[in-house]
Structure 1
């Protein structure tokens, strides 16, 4: 039986625009972790399937509006909650700690979605759309399984951290503390405070108050979907993943056409590092959205319109019978 942290079905909340017709499924990763997933099919013929991968602290319901936008474009959508967050299995006794030992575990989650949902139940061709933390995961997956995705769209990707954020814990400190048994501890100054429940004023993720409120509304209805600060182990894993992603030869060897969109006012990840990465990808492109904060897909309408215009120009799809 799935643990209580794995929810069957999706949560309804005020202001949440979650499309009807979701098919929920509990997946099992290759290493036995239980994962909450869902997929939708559009009315009529499908142009393909967008595999939607989230950032840290996020969950399926938060992307309800994005899912609706993709369905309206004729795409099927498949998505999941990564281990340790949302409705998927938690890895520590404190379920609010954002923890993973290695980002290869997130890749195993993505592989479970592909093998147990996308490749079996969803129309081709397949495209990956990923936000923030999921960028290293998608890039690693595309390198291992280049036949799976026809295009990658990475939004506010976590390829580097700005010095102001990286400074809160040096990589060597994360490695040292993790090596002596503190991997499961909160980062210094980390707490059980759930970020989406914070005040809108001064938030680093979006300038749209209504969209900012969606995540808080869902967590109010289902507090078990929330997580708080990351652990030292998570930070160590993130540093390793970012280093591998931008290592010599890694971007140059990517064969899947990739569009990277960065936010001009991003305070969570380093947009300059993402732009440098995009220049090294042979089939890559880069778009800077000025005035946007980190969560571009949750931004105000004028920014989202630019995002969708770029997405539509880059992701063609083709109509097939569902």
Structure 2
């Protein structure tokens, strides 16, 4: 764990316990504010310790949150490995209590967000609800549309129909086995064997962090949230500067959707890291270096120290 951690639990407005952690900037480095690192589905705070160190070395304090239903936060179903949420707007309760009780009172301004995949959807919906917690936001492989090919339409239809009756069931073909136990050779998220094994070792040592496949309910909620963001004028309502970073070899989300929707932003855009897979921050150094170059150019005061 990076030095100086403060961690604990918060209670959301709807009574869910969510875990947070925060760190100061590295000693002797000019202070540049705080970056809130917000993970994607199945992820957890510990997976981002390397990123915390890199941000601290740049002069940023760091704050992190485990979303409800994953990481060290309260799980929502009897089987704790099932990825589930009734409505993506429920995540706004997590983000709100985190911002009001950790980010704003305890973390130096200005505040920036670094969200991966699912977290990008949550951040965008927060902005659309009028939340102004972050001066700028960097979204890594934002989950604006899933990359299911010709099966996308049928998956959306079935998830919507089945969710009221089978929302807590795994998606067809989904398994209870932790996603971190998938063999490296067939994983779709990173080409870096060492970083992939590191995350798997963390879950093996702490099985309470394990997550399996998403449920039908989670998938239906995800489609509903992505559909809300895809409405023609939605992105033009957003005024905060946003940088979307796409992974060129992403097999999980649609890069076409990122290109299309980022083009509608009033103050933002996107870059693509050719060859990188979905988890850019867990990728090989050649890809991570390109991400940090984009981050340093976009976030004020970041000079890549």
- Shorter-chain TM-score bucket reads over 0.9
Partner of 2:257: 273
Q: What secondary structure sits across from 2:186 in the alignment?
A: coil
Aligned mates of 2:118, 2:290 — CA distance in 1 = 22
Aligned to 2:87: 102
Q: Which moved more, 1:49-58 or 1:103-112?
A: 103-112
1:165–1:22 CA distance, 2 compared to 1 (3 A): farther
Q: How far has the Cα of 1:164 moved from its partner?
A: 3.4
Tell me the equivalent position of 1:33: 16
Map of 1:295 onto structure 2: 279
Answering whether residue 62 of structure 2 is matched by residue 83 of structure 1, we say no
Q: Provide the C-alpha distance between the structure 2 equivalents of 1:166 and 1:94, rounded to a whole number of angstroms.
A: 28
Q: Which segments of 5 or more consecutive residues in structure 1 lack a partner in the other structure? A: 1-17
1:22 matched to 2:8? The reply is no
Cα distance in 2, alignment partners of residues 258 and 158 from structure 1: 14
Once the two structures are superposed, what CA deviation does each residue of 1:40-68 show, in whole Å capped at 9, x if it has no partner? 01125421110111100000000111111
Deviation at 1:146? 4.3
Aligned residues: 301
- How far 1:26 moved relative to its partner? 0.4
The answer to whether structure 1 residue 139 and structure 2 residue 124 are counterparts is yes
Choose the corresponding residue for 1:241, options 225, 244, 264.
Answer: 225
Which deviates more from structure 2 when the two are superposed, residues 156-165 or residues 72-81? 156-165
Corresponding residue to 1:228 among 212, 215, 219: 212
User: Partners in 1 of 2:104 and 2:48 — Cα distance?
Assistant: 22
Q: Is contact 2:82-2:214 (8 Å) kept?
A: yes
Residue 206 of structure 1 is matched in structure 2 by 190
Measured in 2, the distance between the counterparts of 1:267 and 1:234 equals 19
Gaps of 5+ in 2: none
| Corresponding residue for residue 93 of structure 1 | 78
| Deviation for aligned residue 1:32 | 0.7
Task: Write the distance in 2 (CA, Å) between the matches of 1:278 and 1:297.
Answer: 20
**Which residue of structure 2 lines up, in the alignment, with residue 189 of structure 1?**
173
> Structure 2 CA distance, aligned partners of 1:150 and 1:237?
28
TM-score between both structures, scaled by the size of structure 2: 0.95
Q: Secondary structure at the match of 1:148?
A: coil
Contact 1:169 1:187 in 2 (8 A): no
- SS of alignment partner, residue 259 of structure 2: helix
For residues 248-300 of structure 1, the C-alpha deviation after alignment (integer angstroms, 9 at most, x for no partner) is: 21111101000000011000100110111111101111101001000011111
2:46 maps to which of 61, 66, 87: 61
* Contact persistence 2:146–2:152 (CA under 8 A): no
Contact 1:169–1:188 (CA<8 Å) still a contact in 2?
no
TM-score (norm 1): 0.90
Q: State the distance in 2 between where 1:71 and 1:169 align.
A: 44
1:143 CA displacement: 2.3
Tell me if structure 1 keeps the 8 A contact 2:145–2:257.
Answer: yes
- Could you tell me how far apart the structure 2 residues matched to 1:175 and 1:295 are? 27
